[in-house]
């Protein structure tokens, strides 16, 4: 009988065992933190979606005027003022995400954008007719189901979850109309450019304004955008932010203006289209001969404004379409300048390069 004796190097064995245990703890700690982050996102998303659902649902009747459920269904994306839909960037992401789901599962899609203005004042159907009359939208629970999906996704995993949630709820519904309220942006992963250009083209009036701008700006230009919200004390937003003290405002303004000057040094042969929610910043940079600022003032779509004139909201769409055609699209980011999704969405319309300038 033979006995095999294995002699271990005790110190090496203990260090290896300790290392494995440490890696195990680190791995599972990371998993726990990762899971907790997504759990918090999930709870936050469900809470906000529920608030949206309650805000929208109180506008729906519960009559028996419509007793039959239709076999065919229509998904209607709604911007009617029942909830805070967000600005143009948020609304557009929700529109295209909803359309992406409908297109992939073969369900009829319609867009009812009536608040605070009819979208058809600026954009009209291109190759897909999404129009629907206000009198055709049925606010009745016996006919229409309501789906709310409020929060945007941070990761591809979250975007897939949002896509699946919307798809499953649309397929599950037997309603004649399915009313969707969302600003989900998983359309970025489903052919954003193709979706946008299938749905939209500028109205003739907007097209004329754009052509006039291009004649003044030139066709080879870059764009830079900034979202101050109210850091400089000159913009009313749904996100409440106190204006900075005057010395800090001037310091922030000077730093942002300097970034525009540096951008010109790196693009000496191109004009710079400057877009911002701050008139103070736009006035400061408009003095440079190499910058271009479209006249007009920016207003947030969710702010109640007694003036609903065409000119009030035109600048938003002119800026967006001009940014989309810039050869390079830049966004300023710092502590008091938020990373706006507006220029990023515009960059996806034609797939032009997007850059963040963090300083």
Residues of the chain with pLDDT under 70: 1-58, 61-71, 150-154, 238-240
User: What's the confidence (pLDDT) of residue 79?
Assistant: 96
Phi and psi at 109, nearest 5°, equal -115, 135
The alpha-carbon radius of gyration of the chain (Å, integer) is 25
Cα 175 to chain center, whole Å?
28
Q: Which of 336, 184, 304 is CA-nearest to residue 238?
A: 304
Phi and psi at 256, nearest 5°, equal -70, -40
| Domains along the chain with CATH numbers | 19-202 (3.40.50), 205-358 (3.40.50.11350)
User: What's the confidence (pLDDT) of residue 164?
Assistant: 95
Please give the structure tokens belonging to residue 331.
Answer: 């966004």
DSSP assignment of 251-305, as one string? Answer: HHHHHHHHHHHHHHHHSTTSEEEEEES-HHHHHHHTTSTTEE--SS----TTS--
Question: For the whole model, what pTM was predicted?
Answer: 0.82
Cβ neighbours around 142 below 10 Å, total: 17
CB 52 within 8 A of CB 181: yes
Task: Specify the length of the chain in residues.
Answer: 359
Give tens-digit pLDDT for 17-30.
Answer: 666 666 666 665 54
Give tens-digit pLDDT for 52-108.
Answer: 566 666 677 666 555 454 558 999 999 999 988 888 999 999 999 999 999 999 999
User: What's the confidence (pLDDT) of residue 301?
Assistant: 83
């Amino acid at each position: 009988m033979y006995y095999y004796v294995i002699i271990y190097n005790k110190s090496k064995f203990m260090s290896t065992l300790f290392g494995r245990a440490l890696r195990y703890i680190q791995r599972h700690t990371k998993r726990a933190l990762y899971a907790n982050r997504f759990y918090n996102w999930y709870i936050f998303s469900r809470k906000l979606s529920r608030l949206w659902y309650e805000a929208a649902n109180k506008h729906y009747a519960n009559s028996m005027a419509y007793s039959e459920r239709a076999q065919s269904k229509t998904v209607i994306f709604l911007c009617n003022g029942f909830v805070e839909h967000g600005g143009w960037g948020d609304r557009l992401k929700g529109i295209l995400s909803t359309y992406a789901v409908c297109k992939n599962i073969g369900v009829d899609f319609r867009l009812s954008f009536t608040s605070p203005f009819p979208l058809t004042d600026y954009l009209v159907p291109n190759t897909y007719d999404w129009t629907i009359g206000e009198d055709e939208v049925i606010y009745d629970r016996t006919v229409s189901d309501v789906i709310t999906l409020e929060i945007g996704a941070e990761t591809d995993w979250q975007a897939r979850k949002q896509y699946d949630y919307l798809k499953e709820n649309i397929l599950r519904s037997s309603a004649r109309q399915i009313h969707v309220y969302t600003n989900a942006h998983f359309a970025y992963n489903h052919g954003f450019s193709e979706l946008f250009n299938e749905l939209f083209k500028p109205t003739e009036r907007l097209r004329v304004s754009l052509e006039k701008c291009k004649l003044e700006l030139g066709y080879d230009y870059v764009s830079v955008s900034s979202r101050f919200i109210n850091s400089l004390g000159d913009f009313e937003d749904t996100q409440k932010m106190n204006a900075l003290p005057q010395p800090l405002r001037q310091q922030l303004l000077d730093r942002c203006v300097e970034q525009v000057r540096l951008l010109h040094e790196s693009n000496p042969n191109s004009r710079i289209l400057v877009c911002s929610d701050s008139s103070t910043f736009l006035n400061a940079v408009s003095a440079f001969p190499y910058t271009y600022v479209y006249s007009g003032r920016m207003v947030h779509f969710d702010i109640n404004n007694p003036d609903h004139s065409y000119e009030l909201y035109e600048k938003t769409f002119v800026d967006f379409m001009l940014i989309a055609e810039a050869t390079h699209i830049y966004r300023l980011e710092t502590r008091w300048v938020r990373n706006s999704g507006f220029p990023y969405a515009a960059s996806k319309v034609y797939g032009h390069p997007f850059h963040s300038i963090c300083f």
